[in-house]
Amino acid sequence: MINLVFTLQSLLAWGLGALALGVELWALIDAVRHRAAAFVAAGKTSKPLWLALTGVATAIGLVWVLPGPGLPGLGGIASIAAVVVAIVYLVDVRPAVRGHGRPPRQRGSHTGGW
C-alpha cells in the first residue's frame, strides 16, 4: 500500500513538473518570437532580460522533470520560482508586447487569397 501511495505521489509530482515545463517553454518561445522594440514600446523590461529569465526557468524545469539527481535542497523553491517567472511573462508581458506589433512572419507564409 505504501508503495502504491509513493508511486502515485511520484507520478503526480512528475506530471505537475511536466506541466510547469510546458508553461516555461511556452514563455521562452514566445519571448524569442517578439521583436526587442516591442518590449521597449510596451514599457516592459528588455527582451534580453526576459530571454534570460525564461531560459533559466526552462532549464530549471528540465532539471526537475528529467531523471537524475535534480536540484538538491533548492528543487522545490527553484521550480516554483521558475513557474512564477513564466506565468508573470505570459500574463503581464506577453499581452503588452503583442499589442505593439506582431512577431515577424516566416518566409513563405501566406495570409490567404490568391
Q: Dig out the grid coordinates for 37 from the structure.
A: 522594440
Domain ranges of the chain: 16-98
Q: For residues 33 and 84, what is the distance between their CA atoms, to the nearest angstrom?
A: 20
Q: For residues 106 and 47, what is the distance between their CA atoms, to the nearest angstrom?
A: 20
114 pLDDT more than 70: no
The pLDDT assigned to 6 comes to 83
109 pLDDT more than 70: no
Write the pLDDT tens digit of every residue in 64-104. 888 766 656 556 788 899 999 999 999 999 999 988 766 55
The pLDDT assigned to 53 comes to 97
How many CB atoms are closer than 10 A to CB 14? 13
- Identify the sign of the CA torsion 16, 17, 22, 23: positive
Q: For residues 27 and 55, what is the distance between their CA atoms, to the nearest angstrom?
A: 9
More confident residue, 61 or 68: 61
The pLDDT assigned to 76 comes to 79
Write the pLDDT tens digit of every residue in 1-39. 888 888 888 888 888 889 999 999 999 999 999 999 999
Residue 63 host element (H or E)? helix 47-65
Phi, psi of 8, rounded to the nearest 5 degrees: -65, -40
